[in-house]
Amino acid sequence: MHLRILAGAGLVGLALAQPYPYEFPDCGDGIISSNPVCDRSLPPSERAAAMVEAMNVTEKLANLVRSAQGAARIGLPRYNAWNEALHGVAYAPGLNFPQSPPFNAATSFPMPVLLAAAFDDDLIEKVGVVIGTEARAWANHGYSGLTYWTPNVNTFKDPRWGRGSETPGEDALRVSRYAGAMIRGLEGDKAERRIVATCKHFAGNDFEDWNGVSRHDFDARLTLQDMAEYYLLPFQQCARDSKVGSFMCAYNAVNGVPSCANDYLMGTILREHWNWTETNNYITSDCEAVLDVSANHHYVETNAEGTAICFIRGMDNSCEYESTSDIPGAWNQGLLPEEVIDRALRRTYETLISAGYFDGDSSEYLSLGWADVNTPEAQELALQTVLDGTVLLKNDGTLPLELEEGATLAMVGFWANDSSKIIGGYSGRPPYARTPVWAAQQMGYKVNVATGPILQQNCTNDTWTEAALEAARKSDYILYFGGIDTSAAGETLDRYDIDWPRAQRALLKALSKLNKPLVVVQLGDQLDNTPLLRAEGINSILWTSWPGQDGGPGIMQLITGAKSPAGRLPVTQYPASYVNDIPITEMSLRPTSETPGRTYRWYADAVQPFGYGLHYTEFKPTFAEFPSSISIQELVAGCDNAYPDTCAFPPLTVQVANDGSRTSDYVALVFLAGEYGPAPYPFKTLATYGRLRDIAAGEEATAELAWTFGDVARRDEDGNTVLYPGTYTVLLDEPTVATFEFELTGEAEILDHWPAPPTEE
């Protein structure tokens, strides 16, 4: 057998020294070269079919799992599909970080929830290009596969979710547009995919382990309306519109059927309604999700039965922790037909073919290597994303700090000088992790450093206050770096409260009594900021989630006014009492007599709402003229798209004047409100957005914001996408600074008929 690492001669030995080097099939002079799978003139479907046809049953069964064993007899190497790149190439079972260069570090961007706060799709695509380029460089040199399990496009509907920061926020439109931009960046725009992206977790997966209920045994009860307009909308973007290479089915059940055995989700909706068929794609399970079908959901009696039903109903690859699916048992008991096995393998190999796995030296992306990893341009982009995403939540004029020469800063808190805290979850090894203290020292400021508590809820055994006060007394300004760091526990644990930790509140109270300028820089997920917003001794609050490798320099540039913040909250900031008003397991979005509703669309009493964000300057945004009346029938008659909801609505023009004294970006958020359509709820929903860059003091800027029929339409109780007649109110910004109305006339038009679920399972 002849196997070849796709690498330069100087790197082959380095790759082979690793415990699990990747080997691409040798379509040059190896055994497999005579197989039609190596014939690039054939369509991917025929190439994949030839690969499957060459395998015997034993070999087929061994390649239905993410740690595929290959087939040495025919020159097919083993392959591990589990690679991660949530916000940069990350640690995973299929991906190796050597201890020495060149492939020992990858660019680490902020967590997705902060990337989303920039509200700039072009920026997200650029981030995707960097991540996809570095990921392909890893693969080309034997350190990873070509299939990457990112992005996470579940909506962040509850602030307690431990993995919410992995997502682009709570709004389905924002998550959808993020998904489209990220997939374009990751997979590229050539005939060959740069890497294979994976949209996860399909579907209704948005908590981990809470109050005795686990994602492994939870049944998400979704109405068709909530399903179509919220929980599945980002996945529609992934499948129907972006044609992403891979999906991951989730642990939980949806309406009584485990996601990985759910033919309605994987078949009726994904492959049929969204036409995710002839695009070289496959479905992988989440790890242990197949075992959950029998062991936790009790949908069938045995793991062999559960394994068979998952493959029969559309799953193509089982992610195993050791042996959490029973493929041999399913085959030996006659439960798993060979034609189903062949279908799964064909889909898997078609997807790998789409990324050049069998193309040898002819691969379009073969040239990517170490010189394309963490380039100066990538480093600059990592810094820009911190600057663009960070949100100013409170400011009495203290920020930006006008620091005199020789000014002294007290930098207090658990992450002020701890580089391990700024990277976030699902990460790799960054080339560096620059803290705020490091950045301040590089800028020439004198710094007095003191740590602080993280999650302690009481003040016993206080080892931090005295040192923090001593540092603050010796300084002109106090910068407090607090919040929460749950990134290590996010995969398995959810929160039970959203208060600021009591020990941190006590420390802030003590610091505020010194009557010095006090700026809070908040790490992690949202907390109830009410006590900080009310405290006169706390002058300013910046939220920066987990800001990545250049978190420190980004924050210090914003604090000192070298740059101006313009990010907006991509999630609602709820009062602490919210956790007592609704269980995390409640999936219904709309308020009832017993529950308060979810997200900014349905919850009215936010501490700080979705879309909120302050500036260092004064903006005056207005709408340009827009038609006062539009005929639904004329709109639809002029739409030739295969999916009418994607047709362009008349564009919105926003004009923004900077009446202040500082150059700044401005994020234009456009909401739609009204009472038409599905009764009885009035609504307000994000309809489109755009980021206007570098508007100088005294200058004006104009942006034309695109939106679609689908962005204006609503979903009825059956999940159908409908353009309703009525008077619409268009609102600009949060809080609203400009409005206008227009009327849609004529009869309601259904743009998309949502498929009905089976009457029986």
Q: Which residues are catalytic?
A: 286
Cβ neighbours of 342 (radius 10 Å): 16
What single string gives the DSSP state of each residue in 407-473? -EEEEESTTSS-GGGSS-SS----S----HHHHHHHTT-EEEEE---SS-SS-TT--SHHHHHHHHH
- Hey, which bits of 227-279 come out as E strands? 246-249, 253-254, 257-258
One-letter amino acid identity for 669?
L
Q: Which two tokens stand for residue 272?
A: 């049929």
Cβ neighbours of 308 (radius 10 Å): 27
How far, rounded to the nearest angstrom, does the alpha carbon of residue 646 sit from its chain's CA centroid? 22
Query: Do the Cβ atoms of 30 and 75 come closer than 8 Å?
Result: yes
Distance CA 94, CA 43 (A): 28
Q: Which two tokens stand for residue 486?
A: 């749950």
Distance CA 270, CA 239 (A): 7
Q: Which two tokens stand for residue 401?
A: 């700090």
What single string gives the DSSP state of each residue in 139-154? HHTTSS-SB----B--
What single string gives the DSSP state of each residue in 579-613? HHHS-TT----S--SS---SHHHH----SB-TT--
Q: Which two tokens stand for residue 463?
A: 């080892």
DSSP at 623: E
Strands 726-732 and 664-674, bridge-based pairing: antiparallel
DSSP at 733: T
Backbone region of residue 746 per phi and psi (left: phi > 0; alpha: psi in -120 to 50; beta: other values): left
Cα 10 to Cα 5, 141, 416, 753, distances in angstroms: 11, 10, 41, 56
DSSP at 264: I
User: 459, exposed or middle or buried, with CB in 10 Å at 0-12, 13-18, 19+?
Assistant: middle
CA nearest to 119, candidates 198, 72, 173, 164: 173
Query: Do the Cβ atoms of 555 and 386 come closer than 8 Å?
Result: yes
Query: Do the Cβ atoms of 282 and 291 come closer than 8 Å?
Result: no
Query: Do the Cβ atoms of 413 and 447 come closer than 8 Å?
Result: no
Distance CA 437, CA 582 (A): 40
Distance CA 427, CA 111 (A): 9
Q: Which two tokens stand for residue 279?
A: 């695009």
CA nearest to 415, candidates 393, 401, 434: 434
Q: Rounded to the nearest 10 degrees, what angle do helices 121-140 and 376-389 cross at?
A: 140
Cα maximum dimension of the chain: 79
One-letter amino acid identity for 576?
A
Q: Rounded to the nearest 10 degrees, what angle do helices 502-512 and 465-473 cross at?
A: 30
Q: What is the phi/psi pair of residue 218, to 5°?
A: -80, 140
Distance CA 158, CA 97 (A): 34
Cα end-to-end span (Å), the chain: 47
Query: Do the Cβ atoms of 334 and 321 come closer than 8 Å?
Result: no
Cis peptide before 753 (omega within 30 of 0): no
CA quadruple 337, 246, 375, 564: dihedral, nearest 10: -160
Q: Which two tokens stand for residue 412?
A: 């207090």
DSSP at 38: G
Distance CA 554, CA 712 (A): 36
